[in-house]
Amino acid sequence: MPELVEHLLPVLREALSNAARHAHAHAVQVVVAVRGADLVLQVHDDGVGLPPDGRRSGLANLQARANLLHGELALESVDGTTLLWQVPLNLSAEQDPPEAVET
């Protein structure tokens, strides 16, 4: 589980940074939960939403972190933006261990 924390904190930092710098949000709700066998981070802001042609290097990094942990990243722009980052708590023996991702 330490490798999950090493990814969770940068993902949360990027999500909060995006809400403040790009979405111009006034409020942000953060939920970290265990759902079934997954660790889930949900970040919702009341900002302007995702621009269709905006730069996405930070989001690509979040997707890469999810992929390395055999998880997923989902984004929704309705009444702001909701980011859902979900990864399994335990890697099975068939899965490769996560690799480092530069921040």
Helices (H), 1-103: 2-21, 57-68
Tell me, what amino acid is at 80?
G
Residue 35 to residue 52: CA distance in whole angstroms: 31
Q: How far apart are CA 53 and CA 76, in angstroms?
A: 15
What backbone torsions phi and psi does residue 100 show, to the nearest 5 degrees? -75, 145
| Cβ 73 vs Cβ 85: under 8 Å | yes
What does the pLDDT look like over 13-36, one tens digit per residue?
999 999 998 888 999 999 999 999
* Domain 2-88: top CATH class: alpha beta
Q: Where are the domains of the chain?
A: 2-88
**pLDDT tens for each residue of 48-98:** 887 777 667 889 999 999 999 999 999 999 899 999 999 999 855 345 544
